[in-house]
């Protein structure tokens, strides 16, 4: 791994070896730059919104920040690899550059395993805060998925490192040795990724459906969590490229399409996880399209209901509905509102 770190710490200078603007590698670099910029901007916005609304970052914020750092590292690896000829026919690339490009491609695989799963963990942590309910065994399912994804990340990371014996054969296929069945491994990994994407996408639907909310508010909540459809789409698109990439005789040129979709999927996941938090700045810039809502999280000492003042917030109503459905005490409702106060502001906010 030491040579890989040496390449990453070297200055990134697009030289005469560059691929040119017409090739697929060029498209990947452009997508890297654009999507990385958007992902960074949205995570920064998320941090600012959380600090403004609740004055502290939560566990899901720290995890998404970690995912972003790994994703940015992955995108840097992409650009450096392309600079060394990744995406071009191997016979057109100088031997030293080819070795560097393939080593970086190997590093990219490991970074992808980490960033995509950290984003899923962040979403599950957010779910547990937003839907503080035992209905439909929601929290239990979130916990099981959380543990599964953590173990799965460790397992696939280890398999990726030791996919070949000796390890350098992973990027230097001409070396003597053996490798796992890459086609089977990549397809199994992609299928499980897509499956967890779909489960995470569908997980809140029964809870939202069971809430006593106006149709418009239910629709708003469903749309917020339906952003995961985009991640599922990129995951499926990536899967469609794996057969060709895993069987490519020229790894340097033949894997470029799957790497392109790997980049898109990882960045899209972070972007979709942070998009709901964009509503606050948009409500200040375009108030006619994104009106603010005022509410009070006070609870009557004599009432069994959590009371709101001029509340149009689906999240505030959500907490009350959850409270009614499980007949929780006033103190439990107070705890839910207190724990979720920042989240209510995030998606249906008011800045005072």
Non-local (6+) Cβ contacts of 186 within 8 A are: 242, 245, 246, 258
Q: Which pLDDT does position 87 carry in this prediction? A: 87
Non-local (6+) Cβ contacts of 312 within 8 A are: 217, 293, 295, 348
Q: Count of domains in the chain?
A: 2
pLDDT in tens, the chain (352 residues): 555 555 544 444 444 444 444 456 788 888 899 999 999 999 999 999 888 887 789 899 999 999 999 999 999 999 999 888 888 888 888 888 889 999 999 999 999 999 999 999 999 998 888 877 777 788 899 999 999 999 999 999 999 999 999 998 888 878 899 989 888 998 898 899 889 989 998 888 887 777 776 777 667 666 776 777 888 888 888 888 888 787 777 888 888 888 989 999 999 999 988 887 777 776 667 665 555 544 333 323 333 333 333 444 444 444 444 444 443 433 333 344 334 434 444 444 433 3
Specify whether 226 is located in the same domain as 276. Answer: yes
The residue among 314, 352, 307 whose CA lies nearest residue 334 is 307
Q: Which two tokens stand for residue 225?
A: 């969590």
Q: Which pLDDT does position 195 carry in this prediction? A: 92
Whether 36 is in a domain gets the answer yes
Q: Which pLDDT does position 21 carry in this prediction? A: 41
**CATH code: domain of residue 135:** 1.20.1070
Q: Which pLDDT does position 142 carry in this prediction? A: 92
Q: Which pLDDT does position 205 carry in this prediction? A: 81
User: Among all chains, which residue has been given the structure tokens 């060029």?
Assistant: 26
Question: Could you tell me if 78 and 32 are in contact, meaning their C-beta atoms sit under 8 angstroms apart?
Answer: yes
Specify whether 189 is located in the same domain as 305. Answer: no
**Cα 47 to the chain's mean position, in Å?**
15
Specify whether 319 is located in the same domain as 261. Answer: no
Q: Which pLDDT does position 348 carry in this prediction? A: 45
Specify whether 206 is located in the same domain as 88. Answer: yes
Q: Which two tokens stand for residue 171?
A: 């990027």
* pTM score: 0.76
Specify whether 208 is located in the same domain as 312. Answer: no
Whether 289 is in a domain gets the answer no
Specify whether 305 is located in the same domain as 270. Answer: no
| Domain containing residue 313 | 301-341
Specify whether 276 is located in the same domain as 309. Answer: no
Specify whether 183 is located in the same domain as 321. Answer: no
Specify whether 259 is located in the same domain as 326. Answer: no
Specify whether 165 is located in the same domain as 239. Answer: yes
| Alpha helices, H only, the chain | 2-9, 24-54, 59-83, 95-130, 138-161, 182-202, 205-209, 215-225, 228-239, 242-246, 251-254, 256-274, 279-285, 314-326, 330-347
Whether 185 is in a domain gets the answer yes
Whether 148 is in a domain gets the answer yes
Specify whether 188 is located in the same domain as 316. Answer: no
Whether 294 is in a domain gets the answer no
Helix (H, G, I), strand (E, B) or coil at 45: helix
Specify whether 257 is located in the same domain as 109. Answer: yes
Whether 320 is in a domain gets the answer yes
- Express each pLDDT in 269-282 by its tens digit: 999 888 877 777 76
Q: 121-153 as b/e, with b when 16 or more CB fall inside 10 Å?
A: bbbbbbbbebbbbeebebeeebeebbeebeebb
């Amino acid at each position: 791994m030491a040579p890989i770190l040496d390449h990453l710490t070297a200055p990134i200078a697009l030289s005469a070896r560059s691929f040119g603007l017409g090739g697929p590698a060029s498209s990947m670099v452009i997508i890297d730059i654009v999507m990385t910029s958007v992902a960074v901007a949205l995570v920064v916005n998320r941090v600012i919104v959380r600090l403004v609304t609740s004055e502290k970052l939560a566990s899901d914020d720290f995890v998404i920040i970690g995912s972003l750092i790994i994703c940015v590292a992955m995108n840097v690896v992409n650009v450096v690899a392309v600079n060394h000829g990744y995406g071009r026919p191997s016979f057109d690339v100088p031997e030293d550059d080819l070795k560097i490009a393939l080593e970086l491609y190997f590093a990219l695989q490991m970074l992808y395993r980490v960033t995509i799963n950290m984003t899923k963990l962040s979403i599950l942590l957010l779910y547990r805060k937003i839907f503080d309910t035992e209905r439909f065994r929601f929290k239990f399912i979130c916990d099981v998925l959380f543990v599964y994804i953590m173990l799965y990340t460790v397992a696939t990371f280890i398999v990726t490192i030791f996919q070949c014996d000796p390890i350098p054969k992973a990027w230097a296929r001409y070396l003597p040795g053996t490798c796992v069945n890459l086609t089977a491994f990549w397809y199994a990994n992609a299928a499980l990724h897509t499956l967890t994407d779909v489960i995470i996408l569908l997980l809140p639907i029964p809870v939202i459906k069971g809430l006593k909310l106006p149709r418009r508010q239910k629709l708003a909540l469903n749309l917020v969590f339906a952003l995961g459809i985009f991640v599922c789409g990129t995951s499926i698109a990536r899967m469609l490229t794996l057969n060709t990439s895993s069987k490519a005789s020229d790894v340097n040129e033949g894997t470029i399409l799957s790497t392109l979709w790997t980049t898109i999927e990882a960045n899209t996941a972070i972007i979709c996880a942070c998009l709901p938090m964009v509503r606050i700045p948009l409500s200040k810039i375009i108030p006619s399209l994104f009106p603010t809502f005022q509410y009070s999280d006070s609870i009557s000492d004599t009432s069994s209901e959590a009371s709101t003042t001029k509340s149009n917030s689906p999240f505030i109503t959500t907490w009350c509905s959850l409270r009614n459905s499980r007949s929780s005490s006033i103190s439990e409702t107070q705890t839910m509102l207190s724990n979720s106060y920042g989240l209510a502001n995030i998606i249906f906010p008011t800045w005072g």
